[in-house]
Amino acid sequence: MCLGGETMITNLGLRIKELRTQKGLSQKQLATILDLKTSTIVSAYEMGDRAPSLKTLIRMANFFNVSTDYLLGVAPQTPVNLEGLTPSDAELVIALINSLKSRR
């Protein structure tokens, strides 16, 4: 599947904003959590002007308990609420679900 870079960045920005607001975080709070400047979250990522580095994308995915594919708009969000789990526990739950699905 080939996705246009500009569209992917715009969708990424929308997903970041959606996840941030679902957690009740301001842009400044999310920037602090991810050790970024607030302007980076606002103008660069949420407005679709720039994509985060791979390291930042992974930190975001871990923080929001979603996959990087979800953030990039390549895969749907996991239908299981993983909030409150550590990133490693969330990965175990997802691995278990995938294992159970593959047994069909």
Give Cβ neighbours of residue 36 (< 8 Å, ≥ 6 apart).
30, 56
CA pair distance 94, 100, nearest whole angstrom? 10
Within a domain: 98: no
Report the share of the chain in percent with pLDDT over 90: 28
Within a domain: 61: yes
The predicted pLDDT at position 8 comes to 60
Write out pLDDT tens, residues 67-100. 888 898 887 765 677 788 888 898 898 888 878 8
Q: At 54, which CATH number?
A: 1.10.260.40
DSSP per-residue codes, 37-91: -HHIIIIIIITTS-PPPHHHHHHHHHHHT--HHHHHTSSPPPSS--TTS-HHHHH
The predicted pLDDT at position 2 comes to 42
Q: How many domains does the chain have?
A: 1
pTM of the full structure: 0.65
Q: What distances in angstroms separate CA 100 from CA 46, 83, 86, 94, 95, one per listed residue?
A: 36, 21, 21, 10, 9
